[in-house]
Amino acid sequence: MLNNKLLFGKLDEFVDRLKVLENQMSDPEIIKNVSGYRKLAIERSDLLDKIALFSNYKNNYEEVNRLKSIIQESTEEEDFLELVEEELKVLKGKQNKLIENIEEFLIEPDPNDDKDIIIEIRAGTGGEEAALFAADLYRMYAYYAEKCGIKVEVINSSPTPIGGFKEIIFSLEGSKVYKRFKFESGIHRVQRVPSTETAGRIHTSAVSVAVLAAAEEMDLEININDLKVDVYRSSGAGGQSVNTTDSAVRITHLPTGVVVTCQDERSQIKNKAKALKVLRAKLYDHAQLEQASKISQDRKKQVGSGDRSEKIRTYNFPDRRVTDHRISLTLYKIEQILAGDLDELISGLQSAEKELKLKQNK
């Protein structure tokens, strides 16, 4: 049950914080700092939503109490009291909905939810069939991103001769991207008859997906002296040369041994910029995992712990079935899902996370 005194106190805090933010955002020095200003703008937008919600609840709560007093103290005719009771019933229904929304706001948000992301898809067991399914997953995410107005950019890829990917790395930029895609990390298993199978037998293959929050400079500082940069000639599927200059870039972070490569652009400068973007995301992800491990074991209790060795989903073609094993959700529409219809899966995972966090807060 919500403590209304604390809740209304929170509303006052939000209003005071909004005034501070708006003063900061009018400061010419802050306006010049693009990333800093963007961070303040995101916080302001979030505050405005909270103020509107909490104000609606407060107004509704006060009106409910006013109508209760009328019913208890009134000497009015029965017809009038019936109208008041009917209005009270409507307001109580609205109050319950507002309480649900407030509980969601009171859940501590994931600090990465607003960030853009980098997704790495790698073919695992299953050879060429796994590589083909890696391409299917890339297209699935690209279709969904396009539907949501999210920008997709390939950073690096290792295509196979028949249209698959041994590995593909791409970025997604837009609104609440990490919040939408964060549950996709893990092992995706496919069961189907490969196009190369002559006997019609069903094969099981696996593909790993890693979702990394794109880190900004304010999130993580990289010492240039910690980097070893190598350049070499790009090559395509089957070793076929796609560039006659040393435009491909490989960056090694010496303290951690993390290595990233990029060869999709013809420009060495662009490849280096993309490789640094991936490196920053990997180092940020590594730092977060270490911090979560030190703080508590709660991560293991979450909906998808972030363990990329965890089998999270199975795509069964003969039955047209997609099953998310973390929330025991099975949908019989594999064609639509691979065409980017991920809303039901994503909303199911988000609801499960919300329920889990509410239980932990009680």
Domain range 117-356, CATH architecture: 2-Layer Sandwich (3.30)
151 vs 119: CA distance, rounded Å:
13
Which residue in this structure is represented by tokens 């914080």?
17
Q: Convert the pLDDT of each residue in 297-340 to its tens digit.
A: 444 445 554 455 789 999 999 999 999 999 999 999 999 999 99
Chain segment 247-275, per-residue pLDDT in tens: 889 999 999 999 999 988 888 888 998 99
Where do the domains of the chain lie? 4-106, 117-356
pLDDT confidence of residue 325 = 96
Which tokens sit at 324? 């998310």
Domain range 4-106, CATH class:
mainly alpha
pLDDT of 243 above 90: no
- The size of the chain, in residues, is 362
The confidence score (pLDDT) of residue 318 equals: 94
Task: Work out the end-to-end distance of the chain between its first and last CA atoms, rounded to an integer number of angstroms.
Answer: 10
Domains 4-106 and 117-356 share a fold: no
Sign of torsion over alpha carbons 334, 340, 341, 342:
positive
Q: Residue 241 carries which DSSP code?
A: B
Edge-to-edge strand list for the sheet holding 227-232: 227-232, 248-253, 258-262
pTM equals 0.68
